[in-house]
Amino acid sequence: MKTDFWLERWQRNEIGFHKDKANPALVNHWHTMPVDIGCRVFVPLCGKTVDVVWILREGYQVVAAELSEVALDALADQIEGEFGLAVDKQTVDGLILYRAAGILLIGGDFFKLTARDIGPVDVIYDRAALIALPPEMRKDYAQHLMAITHSAPQLLVTVDYDREVMDGPPFAISTSEVNDHYGATYQIDEMECREQIDEEVRFRDRGLNSMMQTVHRLVAKK
């Protein structure tokens, strides 16, 4: 899957994956993460998700990465409107950086980001990154994410469904695949698994009768 795919979807506003409210998986399970108020949260492939606003409102700092400048412009506008902050935007070493107090949004290719680019990370929130990538990219994604965050704790949200009926994105990811990518490094706890097809009518229209959402808590093994 080439970067042009996502850039074109944002340009055409084909963003059925975007939600107007904070994801219940985040709201219901964030308190289980080993992180203190004020800590720094990394949100990969963030789009313009209002989850970032929710995290900020709860008292955390955020660093988020996204390929689409269109998405980040919209997210920066949300942040300015919600908190009355002036978000500074500039290009530095090929990256588009949006900065405000406790906030860093990075526009660029996730796979080219370094630990220095994103700075210290205390916890990761991945609702829409792993499931946005086809199978051949997911191993590299997981390895790179762990490398640049030093395997910070992670709240990961995945979906699974009948692959013979539909292909992604969002891509179907089994619990065993999550373990394949992260099990050597993390203790993985399944926090919730629930049916959400009634909340995703667009997928029922594509022939799916079931879409299971699973929330995973990942904490590095000692």
pLDDT of residue 19: 67
Residue (of 188, 196, 118, 180) closest to 154 by Cα position: 188
Cα separations in angstroms, 10 against 7, 77, 150 = 5, 16, 30
Distance (Å, whole) CA 151 – CA 186: 8
Model pLDDT, residue 174:
97
Short-list 156, 161, 151, 163, CA closest to 130? 156
The string over 13-47, giving b where at least 16 C-beta atoms fall within 10 Å of a residue's C-beta and e elsewhere, is eebebebeebbbbbeebbeebebeeebbbbbbbbb
Give the residue numbers of the binding site for S-adenosyl-L-methionine.
10, 45, 66, 127
Q: What are phi and psi of 68, to 5 degrees?
A: -90, 120
pLDDT for residue 10: 55
pLDDT at position 16 is 53
Tokens of 77: 């506008």
Q: Look up the pTM and report it.
A: 0.92
Annotated binding site: 10, 45, 66, 127
Residuewise pLDDT in 10s, the chain (222 residues) = 567 765 676 566 655 554 678 999 999 999 999 999 999 999 999 999 999 999 999 999 999 999 999 999 999 999 999 999 999 999 999 999 999 999 999 999 999 999 999 999 999 999 999 999 999 999 999 999 999 999 999 999 999 999 999 988 899 999 999 999 999 999 999 999 999 998 887 888 888 999 999 999 999 998
Orientation angle between helical segments 175-182 and 135-149, nearest 10 degrees = 50
**3-14+24-220: CATH topology:** Rossmann fold (3.40.50)
The pair of three-digit structure tokens given for residue 61, joined into one six-digit string: 């700092």
Backbone angles phi, psi at 66, to 5 degrees: -155, 145
